[in-house]
Structure 1
């Protein structure tokens, strides 16, 4: 699955990183606690979160996350967008709630990893 597929499935708007929309993603994680992301996320993942602070971008950088999807219509501020652009991370925003968004991606074949 590509980031563009994620965007289309979730009817999301792209906030930055459009040039990376063709990147492959292999797993997904839905979390608001970045400690959970650090413990469970694998490379080339999508992070779905309702948390809107710079720690999300920093965690994504450390974990080689390809794309962050902000759920419930949340949108990061300009500083977060700039940080994501510097790191080559795609930012998307969807109006779906986290549970629904995760389910939609799971239904289309994007899983969380070996322990699904």
Structure 2
């Protein structure tokens, strides 16, 4: 699934200076606990989160996450957006809750990685 399709499905607002709409997303992780993200995230992943601090960007950088979606209409600070742009991470915001956003993406065929896939 492409970032463009995710924007459509989640009625998301792009917040990045450059949005990589054709980038292929293979898995999704939804969490506000970055320790869980570190344990379960996979390559070419999208992270859904309500956590709105620089730790999210640092975690995304460490794991090569290509797209962040902030749920519940949250908008990261300008410092976070600037850092994400420097790293080539696409940042989006959706008004959906994390539960609903995960369900929409799951229904559309996108899956999360499991601990056993590592």
Would you call these one fold, judging by a TM-score over 0.5? yes
CA contact (8 A) 2:15 2:81 kept: yes
Structure 1: distance between partners of 2:17 and 2:110? 21
User: With structure 1 as the length reference, what TM-score do the two structures score?
Assistant: 0.96
Partner of 2:47: 47
| 1:20 Cα deviation after fit | 1.1
**Structure 2 unmatched ranges of 5 or more:** none
Partner of 1:86: 86
CA contact (8 A) 2:29 2:113 kept: no
Which segments of structure 1 move beyond 6 Å, counting only runs of 4 or more? none
CA contact (8 A) 2:18 2:85 kept: no
CA contact (8 A) 1:28 1:112 kept: yes
CA contact (8 A) 1:18 1:90 kept: yes
Partner of 1:14: 14
CA contact (8 A) 1:46 1:69 kept: yes
CA contact (8 A) 1:17 1:88 kept: no
Is 1:111 the counterpart of 2:111? The answer is yes
> How many aligned positions are there?
116
Structure 2: distance between partners of 1:83 and 1:20? 16
User: With structure 2 as the length reference, what TM-score do the two structures score?
Assistant: 0.94
Partner of 1:56: 56
Deviating more after overlay: 58-67 vs 18-27: 18-27
Q: Secondary structure at the match of 2:46?
A: strand
Partner of 1:72: 72
Residues 14-70 of structure 1 deviation map (CA, whole Å, 9 limit, x = unaligned):
000534111000000000000000000001000000000010001001111110000
